[in-house]
């Protein structure tokens, strides 16, 4: 290695600790070298033969291309067909600890593959689908699904496609111009556009860090990696019920979780599903009320999937509740999140048994014109948000303004509320949530609450 190359290499290594450098260098040796055949560089075929089971699909070739694109010399040279240990180490240092400019250089190579001057939106989308799909495969391989059962969820490939399109939609041209989705596929973007994109959309760098750390078995015990894993996929409680199949897929869970407050991202607990508990507004309230922050996810009769995040525990009362951490979202046909505008404080609403006020569950907008509304006459709802919901700036979430509910599920987010953890015995009312909800709707207290016991980790 010449002086120029050595200086560039050592400059990159200054960002990591000596023991981390040793881990990365030994990682290359353990993957590609044998005592009988020491190697200073490896080609694509050897790389794929070694890592084909660790880096699924096209990501293996993309990673090889990214490593091959690492330049350790300021002089222009003919691209080599093999990768060196030094390139391998710098590739990982740049992706794990590098600046947006350094990351963008590598990611651009991984998107382009053929080292072209510009890449288009279609190439970016395919890269994202490969990255997200590989993430799911690696998490499954390392048994890090955290209680989520892929057999009881929607197709992850569809979720990867939806999330890829959403992340692609964050691309902007150099002058800040945003493109509609059809235009994005043909939009030609430079490395500087990719750099700005990576800076504004941290989820892409997060996926790359976790994928490479797990697939290459490097630095998995380090604090940074542990934080990445915990923020990516929450612990799931409640998927063991034999009759339950979620409306969610794993990429969508990752996406929604990234928009939740950081203090509740670590755990989701299934509270209610029409497939399990039946189609009843009283049953919904009985499982929903007093359970802390929640996610509601609906599928209408036309196949649109959407919902909302309630930041406060639900209460039955004829006033709006919640705060500006609430949001609405769509999953299908488009994946997106809509946050508060500051126009009003109509975040959450839940009421029943009133003659002068609307009875049902709503989020955003105003009475009779909610961004999301579930009527107390269960099975019906509306999303009257044209042109946009005043509270969340969301469009019409459902296929039709007035919709019929096909499926509804509710997840409690974060830890159980303290008052539930403190109670020591189960109430008889727990066996009949509908009775519990009706009792609360009448304003009467539950005398047995002090004897309640909640089994937080009961996945049944």
348 three-state secondary structure: strand
> Within the chain, which residues score under 50 in pLDDT?
1-4, 424-425, 428, 447-460
Do 196 and 189 form a contact (C-beta atoms < 8 A)?
A: no
Is 456 among the domain residues?
A: no
Which pLDDT score is estimated for 133?
Answer: 95
Tracing tokens 């490479």 back to the chain, one arrives at: 212
263 and 181 inside one domain:
no
Q: Of 215, 230, 245, which residue constitutes the final position of a domain? A: 230
Is 356 among the domain residues?
A: yes
d(CA 107, CA 113): 10
Among residues 363, 373, 383, 384, the alpha carbon closest in space to that of 320 is found at 363
Which pLDDT score is estimated for 441?
Answer: 57
Structure-token pair, residue 248: 């969610």
Is 460 among the domain residues?
A: no
Which pLDDT score is estimated for 100?
Answer: 86
186 and 301 inside one domain:
no
d(CA 320, CA 400): 25
Angle between helices 191-200 and 202-215 (to 10 degrees): 90
274 and 407 inside one domain:
yes
Encode pLDDT of 386-433 as tens digits. 899 999 999 999 999 999 999 999 999 999 887 777 664 455 455 555
Structure-token pair, residue 135: 């993430």
Structure-token pair, residue 400: 């039709």
211 and 312 inside one domain:
no
Which pLDDT score is estimated for 25?
Answer: 87
152 and 250 inside one domain:
no
224 and 269 inside one domain:
no
310 and 432 inside one domain:
yes
Structure-token pair, residue 367: 């009475």
Is 459 among the domain residues?
A: no
135 and 216 inside one domain:
yes
Is 104 among the domain residues?
A: yes
Paired with 392 in beta bridges are: none
Structure-token pair, residue 199: 């800076």
d(CA 104, CA 197): 9
Neighbours of 150 (CB within 10 A): 14
Which pLDDT score is estimated for 64?
Answer: 93
176 and 294 inside one domain:
no
395 and 247 inside one domain:
yes
Encode pLDDT of 301-310 as tens digits. 999 999 999 9
Is 458 among the domain residues?
A: no
d(CA 14, CA 399): 54
Is 457 among the domain residues?
A: no
Which stretches within 155-201 are classed as H helix?
156-168, 181-184, 191-200
Which pLDDT score is estimated for 434?
Answer: 59
Write out the H or E segment, with its range, that includes residue 252.
helix 250-258
Give how many domains the chain has, as a whole number: 2
Which pLDDT score is estimated for 449?
Answer: 45
262 and 163 inside one domain:
no
Angle between helices 156-168 and 250-258 (to 10 degrees): 40
Instruction: Provide the domain limits for residue 385.
Output: 237-451
Single pTM value for the model = 0.86
Write out the H or E segment, with its range, that includes residue 306.
strand 305-310
440 and 292 inside one domain:
yes
Which pLDDT score is estimated for 106?
Answer: 93
Q: Of 205, 230, 255, which residue constitutes the final position of a domain? A: 230
Which pLDDT score is estimated for 432?
Answer: 59
Which pLDDT score is estimated for 176?
Answer: 60
Q: Of 197, 230, 263, which residue constitutes the final position of a domain? A: 230
Is 444 among the domain residues?
A: yes
- Could you tell me the CATH number of the domain that includes residue 119? 1.10.238.10
């Amino acid at each position: 290695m010449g002086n120029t190359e050595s200086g560039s290499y050592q400059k990159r290594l200054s960002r990591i600790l000596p023991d981390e450098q040793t881990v990365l260098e030994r990682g290359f040796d353990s993957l590609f070298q044998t005592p009988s055949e020491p190697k200073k560089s490896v080609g694509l075929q050897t790389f794929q033969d070694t890592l084909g089971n660790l880096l699924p699909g096209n990501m293996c070739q993309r990673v090889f291309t990214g490593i091959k694109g690492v330049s350790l010399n300021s002089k222009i040279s003919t691209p080599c067909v093999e990768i060196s240990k030094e390139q391998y180490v710098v590739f990982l240092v740049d992706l794990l600890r590098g600046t947006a400019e350094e990351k963008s250089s590598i990611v651009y190579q991984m998107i382009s593959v053929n080292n072209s001057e510009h890449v288009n939106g279609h190439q970016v989308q395919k890269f994202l689908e490969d990255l997200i799909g590989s993430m799911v495969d690696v998490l499954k391989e390392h048994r890090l699904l955290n209680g989520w059962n892929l057999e009881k969820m929607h197709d992850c490939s569809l979720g990867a496609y939806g999330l890829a399109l959403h992340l692609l939609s964050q691309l902007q041209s150099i002058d800040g111009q945003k493109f509609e989705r059809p235009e994005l596929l043909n939009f030609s973007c430079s490395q500087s556009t990719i750099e700005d994109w990576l800076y504004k959309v941290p989820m892409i760098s997060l996926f790359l860090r976790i994928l490479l750390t797990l697939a290459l078995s490097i630095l998995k015990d380090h604090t940074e990696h542990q934080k990445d894993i915990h923020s990516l996929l929450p612990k799931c409680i409640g998927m063991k019920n034999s009759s339950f199949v979620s409306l969610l897929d794993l990429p969508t869970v990752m996406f929604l979780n990234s928009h939740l407050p950081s203090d509740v991202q670590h755990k989701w607990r299934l509270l209610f599903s029409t497939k399990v508990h039946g189609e009843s507004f009283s049953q919904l309230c009985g499982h929903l009320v007093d359970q802390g922050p929640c996610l509601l996810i609906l599928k209408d009769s036309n196949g649109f999937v959407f919902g909302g995040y309630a930041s406060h525990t639900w209460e039955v009362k004829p006033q709006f509740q919640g705060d500006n951490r609430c949001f609405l979202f769509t999953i299908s046909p488009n994946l997106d999140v809509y946050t508060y505008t500051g126009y009003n404080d109509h975040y959450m609403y839940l009421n029943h048994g009133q003659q002068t006020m609307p009875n049902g569950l709503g989020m955003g907008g105003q009475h009779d014109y909610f961004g999301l509304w579930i009527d107390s006459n269960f099975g019906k709802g509306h999303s009257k948000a044209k042109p946009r919901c005043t509270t969340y700036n969301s469009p019409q979430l459902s296929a039709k303004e007035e919709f019929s509910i096909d499926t509804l599920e509710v997840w409690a987010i974060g830890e159980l509320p303290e008052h539930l953890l403190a109670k020591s015995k189960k109430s008889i009312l727990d066996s009949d949530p509908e009775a519990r909800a009706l009792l609360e709707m009448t304003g009467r207290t539950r005398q047995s609450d002090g004897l309640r016991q909640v089994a937080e980790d009961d996945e049944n």
